[in-house]
């Protein structure tokens, strides 16, 4: 079995991805979370047991939302099955995720998965309130000028 490595020479695979991989490789978890039938996606079969039993064994929390935040951070996308739209029974709480470089048996692809950068926003030159305030100030100045001019005109007419 090929295992993901953090050896020298290759960029290290973040802990989250290593844990996610280990989690799916452990057969004792397979009734709660497992690879999809074709190994292309993975599926959380029992949301409740996953968050309360599995998560704390691998992470510092037991919140599914935190786990999903990490998945999105690494570029995973939710797979929308037709069943997911139904409200009916509760046996269909299958949460499925996918990533182009996260495939069963392809541990060597893991290093291609990159965490999204923490956007240190470079101050978009978009429209700020300052810009609008400048315009408003100019308008006010122009109004004064117009008022002065109108006064002058009336004076001249007389």
Could you tell me where the beta strands, DSSP code E, fall in the chain? 33-35, 41-44, 77-79, 95-98
Q: Region of 11 please: left (phi>0), alpha (psi -120 to 50) or beta.
A: beta
* CB nearer DNA, residue 32 or residue 95: 95
* CB nearer a second copy, residue 28 or residue 129: 129
Specify the length of the chain in residues. 158
Select the binding partner of residue 38 from DNA, a second copy, none (C-beta < 5 to 8 A, by kind): none
Whole-angstrom CA distances from 34 to 11, 30, 130, 155 are 27, 5, 53, 89
**CB neighbours of residue 19 within 10 Å:** 15
Pairing of strands 77-79, 41-44: unpaired
CB of 98 to a second copy, least distance (A): 8
* CB nearer a second copy, residue 26 or residue 35: 26
Measured between alpha carbons, how far is 156 from 138 in angstroms, rounded to an integer? 27
Choosing from 84, 133, 137, 151, the residue that interacts with DNA (CB under 7 A) is 84
Select the binding partner of residue 116 from DNA, a second copy, none (C-beta < 5 to 8 A, by kind): DNA
Contact flag: residue 80 with DNA (CB under 7 A): yes
Binding site for a second copy (CB under 8 A): 6, 8, 12, 15, 18-19, 22, 48, 52, 56-62, 65, 79-80, 82, 85-88, 90, 93, 100, 118-122, 124-129, 131-132, 135-136, 138-139, 142-143, 145-146, 149-150, 152-153, 156-157
């Amino acid at each position: 079995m090929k295992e993901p490595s953090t050896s020298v020479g290759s960029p290290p695979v973040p802990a989250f991805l290593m844990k996610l991989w280990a989690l799916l490789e452990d057969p004792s978890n397979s009734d709660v979370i497992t690879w999809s039938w074709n190994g292309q996606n993975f599926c959380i079969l029992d949301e409740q047991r996953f968050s309360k039993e599995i998560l704390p064994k691998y992470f510092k929390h037991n919140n599914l939302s935190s786990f999903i935040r990490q998945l999105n951070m690494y570029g995973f996308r939710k797979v929308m099955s037709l069943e997911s739209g139904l409200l009916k029974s509760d046996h269909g709480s299958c949460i499925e995720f996918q990533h182009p470089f996260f495939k069963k048996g392809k541990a060597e692809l893991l290093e291609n998965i990159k965490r999204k950068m923490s956007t240190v926003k470079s101050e978009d030159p978009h429209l700020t309130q300052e810009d609008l305030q400048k315009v408003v100030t100019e308008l006010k100045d122009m109004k004064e000028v117009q008022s002065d001019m109108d006064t002058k005109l009336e004076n001249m007419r007389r």
